[in-house]
Amino acid sequence: MQARPSYVHGAHDVPLIGQTIGSFLADIAERYGGNEALVVPHQQVRWTYTELDERVTNLAAGLLALGLRPGDRVGIWSQNCAEWVLVQFATARAGLVMVNINPAYRRSELEYVLAKVQCAALILAPSFKSSDYLAIVGDVVPELTDSQPGSLQARALPHLRHVIRLGAGQTPGMWNFDDLLTKPDEAQLADLKTIEASLQFDDPVNIQFTSGTTGSPKGATLTHHNILNNGFFVGEAMKLTDRDRLCIPVPLYHCFGMVLGNLACVTHGATMVFPGESFEPAAVLKTVQAERCTGLHGVPTMFISLLDHPDFDSVDLSTLRTGIMAGSPCPAEVMSRVIDKMHLAEITIAYGMTETSPVSFQSSTDDPVALRVSTIGRVHPHLEVKIVDTEGRIVPRGVKGELLTRGYSVMLGYWGDEDKTREAIDAAGWMHTGDLAVIDDDGYAAIVGRAKDMVIRGGENIYPREIEEFLYRHPKVLDVQCVGVPDQKYGEELCACIVLRPGMAASEDEIRAFCKGQIAHYKVPRYIRFVPGFPMTVTGKIQKYLLRAQVAEALGL
């Protein structure tokens, strides 16, 4: 008898949603109008679905009144807050394309992203943590200080016409976000209604940047159909209902917060609860107790810091039931503590990538714990997955190969990059993930490695090539290779191995200072080693796996 092939299909009796996000939200607001939609304690926000829907309409009309048109890109650069949610749904309702900008981005990354997708508007928080966003934007677009709001003409970013700031302060050249929330007049409402009626669910609605192996981040372009359905089926796997209250401490700029959090809730009439602007263990514990949350999302490092927090034993987490742990593999011991001590008996594991909206595998609430730890669950509804060898042929069950996904969740492509899109999505519509996986006879999959050298630091994907390209700009650097090394807290940390130019000397601090303020803090290498050269193959290819082993040994990891 021939071995079964590693091909799985999530045939399902619940159909896909054939609607745009804006019209779907309106339907949910009609069904669950009195339910709390969004709770943000630190902003004193507590909105019902009726109130959320109304504010979304006001903002959608306000954005169109600025002269923005369907298809225009609108960047959002902010920590987690109520305004982020309004932007997410209002851009969708107005046919605009929201561009998620990582709050950790600095000057060169911000400028790259705004230019790459030609943003017509940028919505930003004044500051976050150590970043003064207003100062960074003023640096990228110095013309702001002398321009009227809406009439910006920036040399570096000719498409950028509007900069909109959150908060009560006034900044020259910028609109104030709250001014866009005023009730629209009849003509503005009619304009919005006409536009909304013309939108199709296959229209792009969101661009999320994922660092590319070739250096520059790539803009994965996602549609209404992609993320609305993924959010819905993620919520189904968690058995979400309109009585659930989900605590969302993961970042909204990432699919984890925006799709697995916000859209999973909204598609089920459940409540989104934000415990803070970013992850803060004490605030998460306090919020889960105060808001009687039934669900909690996080990457393994977040759950670890909650379990180890000094306040842990004094808070009541007994209302918790479900949630998602994703972003990096979960240690078995952590999972059993989470189920046992945090009452998360129905927590699920999810696997995916931004390019597939993101989830393609998820465990179910009743899978045995052993399977929830050792696998990523089974294929998601309506998706196909196959595991192939280096020739692209399907391998038998139990054999390792590259994981490919096909179906409603696959992105339209990388914005403005046909070559990279064709490399990722083949002629038959399969998205090549670059992850190595195995599928067993029962359809459970396990990720066993990465075809490329991506480093996952606490749920953040770091592509060594991007950091290498940046470090090559340092005048003393002749050659550089970045590798991931094991780390207790984050799973992996980045190490930069640098060959200096002849006769040059440099210190670790000098290299770190060069990175500071230019690239996101999590991409700045934790370890820096000055080396005479790299291990090579006969044909002159660098052997990263050998380099990784050498570095880990030298660092005693």
Sheet of 45-48, strands arranged across = 45-48, 36-40, 271-273, 245-247, 295-298, 322-325, 346-352, 359-362, 378-379
DSSP designation for 346: E
**CB 223 within 8 Å of CB 21:** no
- In angstroms, the CA 213 to CA 12 distance is 35
Rounded to a whole number of angstroms, the distance between the first and last alpha carbons of the chain is 46
Distance, CA of 141 to CA of 145 (rounded, Å): 9
Q: Please give the domain boundaries of the chain with CATH numbers for all domains.
A: 7-15+225-450 (3.40.50.12780), 21-210 (3.40.50.980), 455-554 (3.30.300.30)
Q: At what angle do helices 281-291 and 300-307 cross, to 10 degrees?
A: 80
With b for 16 or more beta-carbon neighbours within 10 A and e for fewer, the 149-172 pattern comes to beebebeebeebbbbbbbeeeebe
Contact 56, 86 (CB under 8 A): yes
Pick from 216, 225, 226, 122: nearest CA to 177: 122
Alpha helix stretches (DSSP H) within 273-368: 281-291, 300-307, 332-341
pLDDT for the residue numbered 214: 44
Q: How far apart are CA 460 and CA 256, in angstroms?
A: 11
* Whole-number Å distance between alpha carbons of 134 and 546: 44
What would the two tokens of residue 299 be? 């990457």
pLDDT per residue rounded down to tens, the chain (557 residues): 778 999 999 999 999 999 999 999 999 999 999 999 999 999 999 999 999 999 999 999 999 999 999 999 999 999 999 999 999 999 999 999 999 999 989 999 999 999 999 999 999 999 999 999 999 999 999 999 999 999 999 999 999 999 999 999 999 999 999 999 999 999 999 999 999 999 999 999 999 998 643 457 899 999 999 999 999 999 999 999 999 999 999 999 999 999 999 999 999 999 999 999 999 999 999 999 999 999 999 988 899 899 999 999 999 999 999 999 997 777 777 898 999 999 999 999 999 999 999 999 999 999 998 898 889 999 999 999 999 988 899 999 999 899 999 999 999 999 999 999 999 999 999 999 988 899 999 999 998 776 667 788 988 878 787 898 789 889 999 889 999 999 988 999 999 999 998 999 999 999 999 999 999 999 999 999 999 998 876 555 678 888 999 999 999 98
Parallel/antiparallel/unpaired status of strands 73-77 and 121-124:
parallel
Structure token digits, residue 102: 């990582």
Conformational region of residue 503, where left means phi above 0, alpha means psi within -120 to 50, and beta covers everything else: left
- Helix orientation angle between 82-93 and 49-65, rounded to the nearest 10 degrees: 60
What pLDDT does 374 receive?
A: 87
